[in-house]
Amino acid sequence: MTAEAAATAALLTQARESLERYLDVHVDDDGALQFRHADVPCVIQASQLAEGLTVLSMTCVVAWDLPDEQSLAASAAERAGEGLFGTLGVVHTDRGMDVTLRYAFPAEGMGAAPLGTLLMLVVSTASQLRTELFGVVTGESDGNSK
């Protein structure tokens, strides 16, 4: 095993152990981690960008096949500007609109507790966004949406 492969595998193991305190985590054949939080599927991968710089990259699929309406896209764009943990992506497809949340950060050297906290902050942001978007779709508001 190369040093790069060992570094990414160790970081994914640490991320898995950190998340398993809160969620059920599945490990893919390629080492990627998959899990769900409040109906939001997420995946975590690790990459070594340079020696000593190994990053975790998380992608959560917040919603898919939403109505492709301007008000919904505007709500997602407004929410994107408010977020601290992740970058929102909106993709328009033939079936509607898909929304993802992505977050990448250097994680080498983080302890299990801080890593778990950071990962759960990102995941909970994705879940909260899903709730808010579905509130816009159904015409309901929880008071936190603008």
Which structural domain, as residue segments, surrounds residue 132?
A: 3-137
Please tell me which residue, 80 or 102, carries the higher pLDDT value.
Answer: 102
- Please answer whether residues 30 and 71 qualify as being in contact, where contact means their C-beta atoms are separated by less than 8 angstroms: no
107 in a domain, yes or no?
yes
Predicted TM-score of the model (pTM) = 0.87
What pLDDT score does 140 carry?
61
The identity of residue 85, as a single letter, is F
Question: Could you tell me if residue 143 is inside a domain?
Answer: no
Closest to 22 in 3D by CA, of 31, 35, 33: 35
Residue 145 maps to a domain:
no
- Specify the 3-state DSSP secondary structure of 108: coil
- The structural domain count of the chain equals 1
Residues 130, 66: Cα–Cα separation, whole Å: 11
Q: What proportion of the chain, given as a percentage, has pLDDT over 70?
A: 93
* Pairwise pLDDT comparison (142 vs 85), residue with the higher score: 85
CATH number of the domain to which 128 belongs: 3.30.1460.10
* Domain assignment of residue 144, yes or no: no
97 by DSSP, 3-state: which?
A: strand
Task: Flag whether pLDDT at 142 surpasses 60.
Answer: no
